[in-house]
Amino acid sequence: MRERAQGMHSGREAGLQRCRTLIQTSSKCIRHVHRHQFVEADVLLVEAKGLAKAAREALAPYPELYHAGFLQDAEKEMVEAAGVLAIVRGEPYPTADYLGVGTMAYLNGMGEAASEVRRFALDEMRKGKLDEAERILGLMEGIYDELISFDYPDGMTGGLRRTCDALRPVIERTRSDLTASVTQHALVHELRETRARLEKG
């Protein structure tokens, strides 16, 4: 028993360290996406997948630890990074199997990704790229509609209902911001046309 306990302790420490690094790497990946540095983001996502695999391998011999909350939390951060990258680039979403994560870590991570891309949508609005912002908003709504259909107890979903509750107002604010931007751009266009007509007349 002492030998196994020591093994569990060593596995836990190794898993924790890799999970901490995984969270940091996933966060860096998202920052690069917001900066449109997609090559760097791709490299970091590959690194994150390797870290997640190493963390799972460290914990796998000990079922008591394998389903520990810190592993799922770290996996969720990686899913968020992968989801943000896919949404922004208009690519198919990576699957849970591709990322090697559990179902609930995947679902919660995609919910976080849908919230995170609001920032990217706002940046696109400021640049006048309203079509792109509208595309991203549509994907946010699509993710929400899918996630809300997983109507199971929180103990099973890892708090997916809370993730959805947090995502909904983010979508509403983004829709409101986009509507205001569209109206503003239309007004500016109309004023320019009116001025052009006056100058000709």
- Position 67 scores a pLDDT of 66
Per the CB < 8 A criterion, the answer to whether 37 and 43 are in contact is: no
Between 160-200 and 103-126, two packed helices, what is the crossing angle to 10 degrees? 20
Instruction: Name the more confident of 183 and 95.
Output: 95
Query: Residue 151: pLDDT above 70?
Result: yes
Cα–Cα separations (whole angstroms), residue 17 to 3, 26, 59 = 21, 14, 12
Mean per-residue pLDDT, 119-125: 95
Burial of 35 from C-beta contacts in 10 A (0-12 / 13-18 / 19+):
exposed
Choosing among 3.40.605.10, 1.10.3720.10, 1.20.58.2140, 2.60.120.260, the CATH entry for 1-97 is 1.20.58.2140
Query: Residue 142: pLDDT above 90?
Result: yes
102-201 shares the fold of 1-97:
yes
Query: Residue 66: pLDDT above 70?
Result: no
CA distance 186 to 175: 16
- Position 81 scores a pLDDT of 97
Most trustworthy range by pLDDT among 5-14, 81-90, 183-192: 81-90
Mean per-residue pLDDT, 180-194: 76
